[in-house]
Amino acid sequence: MMMLDSIDELLSHIKEVQSDVIELSNESLMKMSNYMEKNELEIDEEIATALQYQDIITQQLSATIEAIESMQKSIEVFSHAYKNDESLVSQNMNKLKEKLSATLQEAKDKKSRFSGKITDETIDDEIEFF
């Protein structure tokens, strides 16, 4: 159980670091865009892309924070069940493994969904009208 406590602490730390990175990244980009707006600088394709990468970084990190929170909940449920009945440990271990695998799969899916055109070079700039 001590091992699970250490994992939980490590996950909390990663979550905290990611939240700080999101905040700093947002602040950095807002300062840059405020400067550009104040000086009425024209935005070109490269700058627009750079600004939007920040949005994608935030979404990616937020999705991993959600995955971490879900994993922490699963670990908490497992630890609670273990404390109540040690005979159920094997059964609960399997349930924990299933939940962690499902969370990981969902996180991987979100990584792909929140990447936009960055990871798929087949998507061009053409806007799709219905």
Partner 1 sequence: MPLVIFVDDSETALASTRMVTNSMPIEVKQYTEAQTALAEIKAGMTPDLIITDLNMPVMNGFEFLKALREVPATKRTPTLMLTTETKPELKQQGKALGLTGWIVKPFNPAQLKQAITRVLRLPA
* Smallest separation, CB 74 to partner 1 (Å): 22
* Smallest separation, CB 13 to partner 1 (Å): 24
Footprint on this chain of partner 1 (rule: CB under 8 A): 26, 29-30, 33-34, 36-37, 40-45, 48-49, 51-56, 58-59, 113-118, 120, 123, 125-130
35 alpha-carbon distance from chain centroid: 29
Tell me whether residue 29 or residue 71 sits nearer to partner 1 (CB atom): 29
Q: How far is CA 32 from CA 39, 49, 55, 61, 98, in A?
A: 11, 14, 14, 21, 44
